[in-house]
Amino acid sequence: MEELAINGGEPVRKTPFPNPYDTIGDEEKKAVLEVMDTGVLSGFLGSWSPKFYGGEYVQRLEKEWSDYFGIKYSVSMNSATSGLIAACGAAGISPGDEVIVSPYTMTASATAPLIYGGIPVFADIDPDIFCLSPDSIRDKITKKTKAIIVVDIFGHPADMDEIMEIASENDLVVIEDAAQAAGAKYKGKYAGTLADIGVFSLNVHKIIQSGEGGVVVTDNENYAERLQLIRNHGEAVVEAKGVNNLVNLVGFNFRMGELEAAVAFEQLKKLDVFLKHRIDSANYLSGALSEIEGITSPIIKNKVRHSFYVYALKFDENIIGVNRNTFIDALSAEGISCNNGYVRPLYYQPLFQQKKAIGNYGYPFNLVEKNRLDNLYAINTSPVTENMYNKCLFLTDICNRNTNLSDMSDFINGINKIIRNIDLLK
Ligand SMILES: *Cc1c(COP(=O)(O)O)cnc(C)c1O
């Protein structure tokens, strides 16, 4: 008789899975030493001069990034969070403007508008790909809507054709958060290049990384200039540069250092290889799990390449016969831990529940009409998201460059073992 590990049996997996976040090789080490030898760890200067655009390695990364992704302008940042803020600034978000965002994402993709007094308005997600659903976006548009921040969550691009169409009908700016989707594609084009402005992350957890870092991309020259100004003390530069539009040009220091740029440059060369391994691993899992009723492997829409930053499975408690969390606990005891549900819908955060973002007086929420504000962040605003979080979704990050077939097998064996013995959990 087989015994589940949660009931004291032998676990399927006795050793930890490899660290998914170590993507560093000899090339990166060599590149870092090369920068060290130059003695220049940042080439930026916050005034109007050639150094306004950053050092040699930063500029080389940006050029390479534009070439790889087929976009005109790449503006590096010290994080994707900085990139999202700069994108909101460049788009001209103004106090009281509404920005439609996803509740099911890393927090910065929803909070970035707040820095400019923008009001995040949560729409709901598509139950198959977990990105903002076009219908839900339509429902949330008001006269005050100025922009949409779309997230290619887990690495599957959003329904961008339809979303761009909605945006053009309503004169909205679209910012695409592709932090999890480097190398993903939609109808032949790279994720991140599908909207007016796209944001990538080079944070340690992402598909390629430099510890911290980000890159913002656009084909629009005006946005590119504004991104560069916001990145690097715009207010000190506008006069000499001859920039007349001062809206949102109080600058920050969002600049990337030369070391990070050198590492990111090497990582970009490896993106294709990293991605192929992720996709192969994911396909292997999906093939092996396809027989299990009640567990659905990731859906990939037509003409999409998924980057599998996260491999997200759907769980049907009515078919399996136990709830997801019970299942995940049993799986974890087998040595295979999964995230049960990704993030709590973001409107649950105290920030939104208490409507306190900037300063003591409730800014920018105090700009919203009282009746509207009372409903804006109501519990269950986004029912599909709530269901994914509470009951339906579980995630693994094992589709990464450091895992092999035997790791995949353990994952599959763990799930199969629990399914075989599901009655023991009832
Ligand atoms: C990681 C992540 C970010 C933030 O990236 P940082 O570079 O850490 O600031 C933003 N959005 C999404 C969807 C992310 O996954």
pLDDT beyond 80 at 1 = no
Instruction: Summarize the confidence of residues 394-422 as an average pLDDT.
Output: 96
Over range 140-146, report the average pLDDT: 98
Q: Which of 105, 203, 263 to mutate to test the pocket of ligand 1 (most atoms within 8 A of CB)?
A: 203
Q: What is the mean pLDDT of the chain?
A: 97
- pLDDT (tens digit per residue) in 97-138: 999 999 999 999 999 999 999 999 999 999 999 999 999 999
pLDDT of residue 36: 98
Examine the pLDDT at 402 and tell me if it is beyond 90: yes
Residue nearest to atom 8 of ligand 1 (CA): 203
Shortest-distance atom of ligand 1 to CA 109: 11
Ligand 1 centroid–CA 341 distance in Å is 18
At 136 the pLDDT is: 98
- Ligand 1 centroid distance, CA of 82 (Å): 10
Identify the pLDDT of residue 262.
98
CA distance 252 to 310: 32
From ligand 1's centre to the CA of 206, what distance in Å? 8
Across 62-89, average pLDDT: 98
Residue 219: its pLDDT value, please? 98
User: How far apart are the CA of 323 and the centre of ligand 1, in A?
Assistant: 30
Digit-coded pLDDT (tens) for 19-52: 999 999 999 999 999 999 999 999 999 999 999 9
| Distance (Å) from CA 39 to ligand 1 centroid | 30
pLDDT tier, 281 (very low <50, low <70, confident <90, very high otherwise): very high
Rounded to the nearest whole angstrom, what is the distance from the C-alpha of residue 381 to the centroid of ligand 1? 23
Q: Which atom of ligand 1 is nearest to the CA of 201?
A: 7
* pLDDT average, residue stretch 161-181: 98
Looking at residue 292, its pLDDT comes to 96
pLDDT at 71 over 90: yes
Averaged pLDDT, 54-72 = 98
Measured at the alpha carbon of residue 336, what is the angle toward residues 330 and 339, in degrees to the nearest 5?
A: 85
* pLDDT above 90: residue 198: yes
**pLDDT for res 141:** 98
Give the binding-site residues of ligand 1, using a 6 Å CB cut-off. 79-81, 105-106, 108-109, 151, 177, 179-180, 201, 203, 214
Ligand 1 atom nearest 153 alpha carbon: 13
Ligand 1 mutation target, pool 21, 75, 81, most atoms within 8 A of CB:
81
Pocket test for ligand 1, best of 101, 180, 200 (most atoms within 8 A of CB): 180
Terminal CA-CA length for the chain: 17
User: What's the 84 CA to ligand 1 centre distance in angstroms?
Assistant: 9
Residue 7: per-residue pLDDT? 96
User: Which atom of ligand 1 is closest in space to residue 152's alpha carbon?
Assistant: 13
Whole-angstrom Cα distance, residue 403 to residue 376? 43
Question: Is residue 259 scored above 90 in pLDDT?
Answer: yes
pLDDT in tens, 357-372: 999 999 999 999 999 9
pLDDT > 90: percent of the chain: 99
Tell which atom from ligand 1 comes closest to the C-alpha of 180: 15
Ligand 1 centroid–CA 199 distance in Å is: 9
Q: With bands split at pLDDT 50, 70 and 90, how would you rate the model's confidence at 216?
A: very high
Q: Is it the case that residue 160 has pLDDT exceeding 90? A: yes
